[in-house]
Chain A
């Protein structure tokens, strides 16, 4: 058999041309069109993901979890893969406790992929997973959980859907708690697994710091319980309890009512979110008489035994200021001014001080300025400048009218009586822990406001106020208690006071000689009007029993 050379040449030429064409095309795609091919090809396998940082855990001083972040499963659907949509919607409706109609509508919406229910409880997610319905799947999403539910809700605040802290600790320490997200660029196979020998570029995330608070969960729970009971008993519009350790200004409890559920903030009124311990001001009334007396004692203008004749009122700046119910007490010592809560007596002491010294003392105790507590939304209260004071303001301010304070400010001032005369900056974060270790908060002594002798005298006078005076209801069976009640009128918009509406309060500490805590209880508009202080002192008593028991404080009196 002979082979035609011509045919061979033609065949060779064809192959050569075809090869050249292929080579040319290949060169074209690999060079000129490289980017256009590479982009989609890499896009199919490469994923550029944000690696979320874990939000820090918030714990109380004993390590109990107050807020933490866990990954919960969210249910999604790929509707095209679900054959019997009505049946699946029915099943999901039963398991989720929802109306199946909206679920079915979502399955029929024509979407390629859709969430059905986000952040499911574990048991529900397990039950749905057990159905093994093709087209249903789970994706984990971070959820902020508060195991104690509404306890310390105002103090802790909450986290919105975008992961940003709102109110309380969550807002004040958002940048610390949030951490820094990382980034992961990786090539994945069709089963969404990272290719072992593929591209992998990772910038690790930096988790948020964990915070340990000064709050004691047992004391906080007791404060919330007593506040709830007082609110129910008095049908008060609002209330709060502040508990502070006088030795360093650390906060043991902050309870505010009405409260909210951090898990259902969307349906909460904005006013409810306000923490009344730090972001609400009121005229303190008679609880401020302690400050007036302390200022006068400190300057040697009066002693606990200094006596005046109480006629039931005092006239100052051309205005007559009456005692509660207009009662005249006759000869009254300064100690009895506190015991009887005599307005005329407070005016007597305030007049001894004079406007300048009284104003200066109120400022020194921290009124009219923020305490600097590490919580969001703190208010400063109002202490008008001295230049704006009328002569009558010396009288009204001496028994707590014409100026506003926050309950936290008042607690700080009483803590100065309790600790020997030093005003501390209140704080709530004891330490934060991050990758570098633990960073403790150093207590800050702002200034000495009274001498230790004056503080001791104040403790003794306030002890007498509980033992012999109007605050008797706050006394405990085996502990000495020092404190002062307060009943303040509520200013209206016309500049006058509302008739027969009050704010009842009690500020005190125990044991009186070596105080372990200072508490301020405030109730707004109690239904028992002037007797609202009885409920406030009862709340203090219930709280004090738990606080002293938890701290294992030895009784200092026979029961």
Chain B
């Protein structure tokens, strides 16, 4: 086959066709409408698929972030609850009645009189 092609070439060179005919013959074979339609359709499908994948990815991402946000919100709520409980516990521990009871249990006595010194007295002692 290679031999035939080789053999045909000199002939083509010998009998040159008119310029217009030569341009037509030298141009690569034109794309048929079926091919073009197929290509466009394939591209459209691919683009559509890509868009769908991107959309799904986005939705999945939003969902994942939303679920994560819900989890964090639940965590925050729980921490706030724990914090409120700790505040209550702190208030219980700081209650004057509890401190008085603890002091009494330790045998501490209430002062009947708290001596107060004036600033002048303090200065004089220094």
Contact = CB atoms under 8 A, between A and B. Distances in A.
Interface of A: 64-65, 68-71, 122, 140, 145, 147-149, 151, 193-194, 196-197, 217-218, 221-222, 224-225, 477-478, 545, 549, 554-555, 559
Interface stretch (B13-21, B26-34, B36-44, B93-101): B93-101
Contacts of A225: 97, 100
Interface of B: 59, 62-63, 65-67, 70, 81, 84-85, 87-88, 91-92, 94-97, 100, 110, 112-116
A493 B88 CA distance: 47
Q: Is the interface of B mostly helix, strand, loop or mixed?
A: helix
A151 B88 contact: no
B16 to A, nearest CB: 54
A559 B70 contact: no
Nearest to B73: A194
B116 A555 contact: yes
A141 to B, nearest CB: 11
A545 B112 CA distance: 8
11 contacts: A64-B91, A65-B91, A68-B84, A70-B84, A70-B88, A71-B81, A145-B88, A196-B62, A196-B66, A225-B97, A545-B110
A423 to B, nearest CB: 31
B94 to A, nearest CB: 7
A221 B67 contact: no
A300 to B, nearest CB: 40
A195 to B, nearest CB: 8
B59 A197 contact: yes
B94 A64 contact: yes
A70 B85 contact: yes
A478 B92 CA distance: 33
Contacts of B94: 64
Contacts of A222: 96
B60 to A, nearest CB: 10
A59 to B, nearest CB: 9
B88 to A, nearest CB: 5
Given A64-B94, A555-B116, 7 more contacts: A68-B88, A145-B88, A147-B88, A149-B95, A225-B97, A477-B113, A554-B116
